[in-house]
Chain A
Amino acid sequence: MDAGLLEQMLLGALLGLSVYLPLRCGQLSLATPGFFAIGGTVAALLSTRLPALAGSGSTYPITSVLLEMALAALLTGVLALGLGRVVLRLRGIYLAIATIALVEILRVVTLNLEFTGGALGIFGIPQPFDSAAGYAAFTLALLALICWLCDRLEKTRPGRAMAAIRDDELAAASQGINTADTKLLAFVLSALVAGITGVVAAHFLNSWNAKLGNFDASITTLAFVVFGGSRTWLGPVFGGLLLTALPELLRPVGDLRLIVFGAVILVGPLFFPQGVITPELFKTLKRIMLRPPTPAAQGGKP
């Protein structure tokens, strides 16, 4: 497979995880592209304006990329902490639209500011890797790390508190869960993942502009999660990988490819209302793997 496409798929999976984190807590936040855009802008600005980061070698040092990631995480984290306090008082579709408004405000401001390069954006972002394969390996490691953290989160107290809020916020609160702080945690984690992903994407894409964090991106990333499933972290990863790859894999059908892509998004939820990947799927798989076929499974109905 083309390493460039693989890299895009991995970035899609990371963005899917970013939308998934608040959704697992029952919060429909579409702010991911906004934080993604902030991460990308931070990386683009630092790597093109600060000669100290460039190092002496022929390629841009990875330590500088890591430093950009830390700064992007710090910035998006602090921003999410402040904004989250305010917007998370909203529920359901109101939260979704407030976050869309945030993304749009951010996009318009980036588009009009001088130092972010306006409509053209920032060009010539230095490359820490010679090839797309290098990026893919780096992003794969990052994805694996974040997946592992998500898995840990789901098995620990804050993660379980998130699931409880998703099922019933009032009941969760009456069990002594601090719902406001738990929701805020999910929102901040989502922003951190999006910001870090933005840093990698900016280097990979080589240029960065305001268009990369827009309304379309909000909805597409939401589709990753709803299509893949929002019950475990594997869902958004699967959805992100597949739905990012799909338009490219459909190249052979030419002009029809986006129509087919739309049809997949349209039909997917009809057949998989919980998303494709659900905990039940694992249970079924486990049963099939562990147990020899029973007479009932062979079609012998009593």
Chain B
Amino acid sequence: MEALLQLLFNGLSVGAVYALFALGYTLVFSVLGVINFAHGAIFTLGAYFTYFLIGGAVGANGLMAGLQLPFALPFWLALPLAGLGAAAVALVLERIAFRPLRDRGSDPLLALITSLGAGVILVNLIQLLVGAESYSIPVETLESLPVALSIAGAKVRTVQVMLLAIAGLLLAALSIWIDGSRSGKALQAVSEDPITAQLLGINSGRMIQIAFGISGFLAGVAGGLVGLSVSIAGPYFGIGYGLKGLGVLVLGGLGSVPGAVLGGLIIGLAEACVPAELSGYKDAVSFGFLFLVLLIRPQGLLGRPQANKV
């Protein structure tokens, strides 16, 4: 029973990060119909921002070697600020890599390439400025909180519980906003058809910016949380998550918010169930799963089927 609970917690906390990640993809996909390949880089950036804001010093290899903030923020303050920083970068990204294409009415496929270019720039900029070494956010940042909790006999790391709680909170806030508020409904209208939405008096351009901002915020927070629970394994560490997030996105259904959450939790749990001696095959399990779902239900678990337009 304890082992099962442990497994459940491990799976859910990893899954929650995947869900946060995939939600960022989904928001952008729902309004623009493209995948933002720089999303992994924004996630990485969020992790570095968090590390920096809690007063971490930059290592010796980058141009900013030894740089450190004169103050150290507590983690609960550093995390949302890092999220805001990541959101700001996501807005810049929208301005330089997505909006010019939209203004010219270019093929949406091109945004895959421009966002990839932006991602390459971001990742290498990080490498140039702070070096390629890995950083870790010490658990002491959590101050008075204990390192591990005991829930119904199972020992669970506090970080994991926190991860799950924060992710759950953000996901709930997001779905309340999308379904319950005027601007959330406007976002849905834009994802249905940007031009019609514009005709109905919705500022589509603004809604797209909002989608990018939220997407960046979620990625930044997810980055900070992973930095705390695992570590920041160098500038490229977002890529693996980016790839997994892509799988989660399709598994749940492109453009579906509950789908992204469900997909994240399923993949997280599936990975947690892979026994330790086969852990090398972990990634193959989630992608194999994704592949099967695609073949049986191409629109994903909760997505709408693609209409065959004539």
**A98 at the binding interface (Cβ < 8 Å):** yes
Q: Give CA–CA (A70, B308) in the complex, Å.
A: 40
**Within residues 206 to 242 of chain B, which ones have a CB less than 8 A from any CB in chain A?**
239
Does A265 contact B124, Cβ atoms closer than 8 Å?
A: no
Contact of B287 among A92, A104, A226, A266 (CB under 8 A): A104
Q: Give CA–CA (A274, B109) in the complex, Å.
A: 11
Q: Give CA–CA (A12, B117) in the complex, Å.
A: 18
Q: List the one stretch of A37-45, A256-264, A281-289 in contact with chain B.
A: A256-264
Decide if the interface of chain A is mainly helix, strand, loop or mixed. helix
List of B residues within 8 angstroms of A90 by Cβ: 294-295, 298
Does B254 contact A266, Cβ atoms closer than 8 Å?
A: no
List of B residues within 8 angstroms of A102 by Cβ: 287, 291
Does A266 contact B118, Cβ atoms closer than 8 Å?
A: yes
**A111 at the binding interface (Cβ < 8 Å):** yes
**A138 at the binding interface (Cβ < 8 Å):** no
Q: Give CA–CA (A263, B122) in the complex, Å.
A: 10
Does A94 contact B294, Cβ atoms closer than 8 Å?
A: yes
CB distance from B184 to the nearest CB of A (A): 24
Contact of A226 among B100, B109, B281 (CB under 8 A): B109
Does B310 contact A170, Cβ atoms closer than 8 Å?
A: yes
Complex: chain B residue closest to A30, CB-CB? B112
Complex: chain B residue closest to A215, CB-CB? B243
**A208 at the binding interface (Cβ < 8 Å):** no
**A233 at the binding interface (Cβ < 8 Å):** no
List of A residues within 8 angstroms of B291 by Cβ: 98, 101-102, 105
> A90-B294, A104-B284 given as contacts; is B128 within 8 A of A266 (CB)?
no
Does B121 contact A263, Cβ atoms closer than 8 Å?
A: yes
**B77 at the binding interface (Cβ < 8 Å):** no
**B283 at the binding interface (Cβ < 8 Å):** yes
**B150 at the binding interface (Cβ < 8 Å):** no
Q: Give CA–CA (A265, B101) in the complex, Å.
A: 13
**A79 at the binding interface (Cβ < 8 Å):** no
Q: Give CA–CA (A199, B5) in the complex, Å.
A: 48
**Within residues 254 to 310 of chain B, which ones have a CB less than 8 A from any CB in chain A?**
254, 280-284, 287-288, 290-291, 294-295, 298, 306, 308, 310
**B148 at the binding interface (Cβ < 8 Å):** no
Does B243 contact A100, Cβ atoms closer than 8 Å?
A: yes
CB distance from B34 to the nearest CB of A (A): 8
Does B243 contact A104, Cβ atoms closer than 8 Å?
A: yes
**B107 at the binding interface (Cβ < 8 Å):** yes
Contact of A262 among B110, B121, B254, B294 (CB under 8 A): B121
Q: Give CA–CA (A261, B127) in the complex, Å.
A: 15
List of B residues within 8 angstroms of A97 by Cβ: 246-247, 249-250, 290, 294
**Within residues 97 to 119 of chain A, which ones have a CB less than 8 A from any CB in chain B?**
97-98, 100-102, 104-105, 108-109, 111-112
Complex: chain B residue closest to A275, CB-CB? B110
Q: Give CA–CA (A219, B288) in the complex, Å.
A: 20
Q: Give CA–CA (A267, B122) in the complex, Å.
A: 15
Does A104 contact B104, Cβ atoms closer than 8 Å?
A: no
CB distance from A87 to the nearest CB of B (A): 8
> A108-B283, A264-B117, A273-B104 given as contacts; is B125 within 8 A of A259 (CB)?
yes
**B114 at the binding interface (Cβ < 8 Å):** yes
**A270 at the binding interface (Cβ < 8 Å):** yes
**B65 at the binding interface (Cβ < 8 Å):** no
List of B residues within 8 angstroms of A87 by Cβ: 294-295
CB distance from B232 to the nearest CB of A (A): 19
Q: Give CA–CA (A264, B120) in the complex, Å.
A: 10
List of B residues within 8 angstroms of A266 by Cβ: 96-97, 114, 117-118, 121
CB distance from B104 to the nearest CB of A (A): 7
Does B280 contact A270, Cβ atoms closer than 8 Å?
A: no
List of B residues within 8 angstroms of A28 by Cβ: 109
CB distance from B148 to the nearest CB of A (A): 31
**B116 at the binding interface (Cβ < 8 Å):** yes
CB distance from A248 to the nearest CB of B (A): 15
List of B residues within 8 angstroms of A265 by Cβ: 113-114, 116-117, 120
**Within residues 152 to 178 of chain B, which ones have a CB less than 8 A from any CB in chain A?**
none
CB distance from A20 to the nearest CB of B (A): 13
When A and B form their complex, which 10 residue pairs have the shortest distance between CB atoms, in order from nearest? A266-B117, A262-B120, A265-B117, A262-B121, A108-B284, A269-B110, A258-B124, A112-B280, A101-B287, A273-B106
Interface residues, chain B, with chain A CB atoms under 8 Å away: 35, 37, 96-97, 100-101, 104, 106-107, 109-110, 112-114, 116-122, 124-125, 127-128, 239, 243, 246-247, 249-250, 254, 280-284, 287-288, 290-291, 294-295, 298, 306, 308, 310
Besides A266-B114, A273-B110, 12 new A-B residue pairs in contact (Cβ under 8 A), listed by A number: A97-B294, A105-B287, A112-B284, A215-B239, A215-B243, A222-B113, A223-B113, A223-B116, A226-B109, A261-B120, A266-B118, A266-B121
